[in-house]
């Protein structure tokens, strides 16, 4: 499989910058927020507290790719308006998932990073479309994708001209069903070996269980991830999506401190 643009050969490490956040360098970048934006209050409270606890980027889904069409699908553009405002108020870049190429111009007004979800990793028309601009794209690993297939999907984005790609390991489907997915942490050093793009880890979808999120996060930082994306909710048991894998504020605050210590230790800082 040819990786002319996403492959490492003859290329320096890519650092994707959004505002004063730099993903892919020495800094550990924490992206945090709810799975889904549910209300103005929920998002603003989360933004304020994750920022205070050390997160640099705010996440929140407005278009949710739910397994069942009867589950909460997200607030759509109304949610994106809250996300934009919460980002402005807390001086944080924001990220949200794009599911449909027809929504690009609309999402472009509100988000700093486009998220391509696991289910769309091989949606080649969507990849080509986000590739035509220069806005950073976080490409999550497909739940049944090999590392080479994932990098090949990144190649579609770069081929259109957009070099601001961030890769996100979020677990793959295996026969193990104790966890929601099997978090493939080996993908971190492998991506660093094969590609120049930053690699971040999503321990929330990677485990699907709140009690495992801290362990997975610590391991991800120790193995060299450039950042993490973690789901945080003010009241996980009331969440409209993915409540069982969401950290509350107290847990996130504690975890964030531990991760910084591990990062400094591993990098001799
Ligand atoms: C998400 O980040 O909210 C999400 C839906 O993740 P994934 O695409 O990895 O399932
Ligand atoms: Mn989620």
CATH number, position 250? 3.20.20.70
Residue with tokens 């643009």: 5
The three-class DSSP label of residue 180 is coil
Span from the CA of 118 to the centroid of ligand 1 (angstroms): 6
Residue 240 lies in a domain: yes
Low-confidence ranges of the chain (pLDDT < 70): none
Task: Identify the domain containing residue 172 by its residue range.
Answer: 25-266
| Residues 58-75 pLDDT 10s | 999 999 999 999 999 999
59 pocket-lining for ligand 1 (C-beta < 6 Å): no
The pLDDT value recorded for residue 9 is: 85
Angle 131-65-37 (CA atoms, 0-180°, nearest 5)? 95
Instruction: Give the pLDDT of residue 11.
Output: 86
The ligand whose atoms approach the alpha carbon of 59 most closely is: 1
**Structural domains of the chain, count:** 1
What pLDDT does 52 receive? 98
**Quick one: DSSP state of residue 30?**
E
pLDDT value of position 148? 97
Cα of 15 to ligand 1 centre, how many Å? Answer: 23
Please give the sequence-ordered ranges of beta strands (E in DSSP) within 12-117, or none if there are none.
16-18, 21-23, 29-33, 57-59, 94-97, 113-116
Which residue's alpha carbon is nearest to atom 9 within ligand 1? Answer: 118
| 8 within a domain of the structure (yes/no) | no
Could you tell me if 229 and 35 are in contact, meaning their C-beta atoms sit under 8 angstroms apart? no
Q: Where are the alpha helices (DSSP H) in 53-141?
A: 77-90, 104-108, 124-131
Residue 15 lies in a domain: no
pTM: 0.98
Alpha carbon of 117 to ligand 1 centroid (Å)? 5
Contact 113, 57 (CB under 8 A): yes
Q: Is residue 156 part of a domain?
A: yes
The closest alpha carbon to 81, from 53, 50, 44, 52, belongs to 44
Verify whether ligand 1 is closer than 6 Å to residue 35 (CB atom): yes
Give me ligand 1 centre to Cα 64, in Å. Answer: 8
pLDDT at 108: 98
Q: Is 4 among the domain residues?
A: no
Ligand 1 within 6 A of CB of 118: yes
Whether 99 lines ligand 1, by a CB cut-off of 6 Å, is: no
Is position 7 within any domain?
no
Tens digits of per-residue pLDDT, 143-196?
999 999 999 999 999 999 999 999 999 999 999 999 999 999 999 999 999 999
């Amino acid at each position: 499989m040819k990786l002319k643009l996403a492959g490492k050969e003859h290329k320096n490490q890519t650092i994707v910058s959004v505002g004063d956040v730099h993903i892919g360098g020495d800094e550990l970048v924490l992206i945090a927020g709810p799975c889904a934006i549910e209300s103005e209050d929920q998002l603003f409270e989360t933004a304020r507290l994750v920022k205070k606890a050390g997160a640099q980027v705010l996440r929140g889904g407005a278009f949710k790719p739910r397994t069942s069409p009867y589950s909460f699908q997200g607030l759509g553009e109304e949610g994106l308006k809250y996300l934009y405002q919460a980002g402005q108020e807390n001086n944080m870049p924001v990220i949200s998932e794009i599911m449909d190429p027809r929504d690009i111009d609309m999402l472009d007004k509100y988000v700093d990073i486009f998220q391509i979800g696991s289910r769309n990793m091989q949606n080649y028309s969507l990849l080509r479309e986000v590739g035509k601009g220069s806005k950073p794209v976080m490409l999550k690993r497909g739940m049944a994708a090999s590392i080479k297939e994932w990098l090949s999907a990144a190649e579609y984005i770069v081929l259109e001209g957009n070099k601001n790609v961030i890769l996100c390991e979020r677990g793959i489907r295996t026969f193990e069903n104790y966890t929601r997915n099997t978090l493939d942490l080996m993908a971190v050093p492998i991506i660093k070996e094969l590609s120049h793009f930053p690699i971040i880890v999503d321990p929330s979808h990677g485990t699907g269980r709140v009690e495992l999120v801290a362990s997975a996060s610590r391991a991800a930082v120790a193995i060299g991830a450039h950042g993490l994306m973690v789901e945080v909710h003010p009241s996980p048991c009331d969440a409209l999506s993915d409540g069982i894998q969401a950290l509350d504020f107290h847990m996130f605050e504690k975890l964030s401190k531990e991760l910084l210590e591990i990062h400094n230790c591993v990098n001799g800082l």
